[in-house]
Amino acid sequence: MQDMLKHLCCIVVSTVSSAFGLAAETPGLNAEVNPDGITVTESGRSLLHYQLKTKSQEGDWPRANYIHPLHDLDGNVITEDFPHDHGHHRGIFWAWHQVWVGDQKVGDSWVCREFLWDVQSQGVEHCADGSLRLIANVEWKSSQLADDTGEMIPIVAERTVVTVHPANDQYRLLDFEISLKALLQNVRIGGSEDVKGYGGFSPRIKLSKDQKFVGHHGEVEPQKTAVEAGSWIDISNGNQGVAILSHPSNPGYPEPWILRAKRSMQNAQYPGAEPVELSMTTPTVLRYRLVLHRGSAEQINIPGLSADFASNGKR
Q: Tell me: the pLDDT tens digits for 98-126?
A: 999 999 999 999 999 999 999 999 999 99
Q: Above 70 in pLDDT, residue 11?
A: no
d(CA 203, CA 66): 10
Q: Which domains does the chain have, with CATH numbers?
A: 2-311 (2.70.98)
Total length of the chain: 315
Closest CA to 250 of 226, 277, 285: 285
The answer to whether residues 33 and 21 touch, using CB atoms and an 8 Å cutoff, is: yes
DSSP string, 125-167: EE-TTS-EEEEEEEEEE-TTSB-TTSPBPP-EEEEEEEEEPPP
Please give the model's pTM, rounded to 2 decimal places: 0.92
Cα gap 182→187, rounded to integer Å: 6
What pLDDT is attached to residue 12? 40
* Mean pLDDT, the chain, whole residue set: 92
- What does the H/E/C string look like for 79-123? ECECCCCCCCCECEEEECCEEEECCEECCECCCCECCEEEEEEEE
Cβ pair 298, 219 in contact under 8 A:
no
Q: Helix (H, G, I), strand (E, B), or coil: what is residue 209?
A: coil
Model pLDDT for residues 191-227, shown as the tens digit of each residue = 999 999 999 999 999 999 899 999 988 999 999 999 9
Q: Which pLDDT does position 14 carry in this prediction?
A: 43
Mean pLDDT of 281-309: 95
pLDDT of residue 6: 53
Pick the residue with more confidence: 20 or 55? Answer: 55
pLDDT at residue 23 tops 50:
no
Torsion sign across C-alpha atoms 276, 278, 279, 284: positive
Nearest-CA neighbor of 207 among 268, 261, 267, 266?
261
Question: What is the chain's Cα-based Rg?
Answer: 19
Omega before residue 256 within 30° of 0, cis: no
pLDDT at 238: 87
Preceding peptide of 69 cis, ω within 30°: yes
Q: What is the pLDDT of residue 312?
A: 75
Phi and psi, residue 303, nearest 5°: -55, -40
User: What kind and span of H or E run contains 291?
Assistant: strand 284-294
Q: How far apart are CA 98 and CA 101, in angstroms?
A: 10
- Residue 298, SS3 per DSSP: helix
The C-alpha atoms of residue 113 and residue 60 are separated, in whole angstroms, by: 9
Give the C-alpha separation, 135 to 207, whole Å: 29
Q: How far apart are CA 215 and CA 201, in angstroms?
A: 17
Q: β-strands 104-105, 200-203: how paired?
A: unpaired
Please report the pLDDT score of residue 9 as a whole number: 62
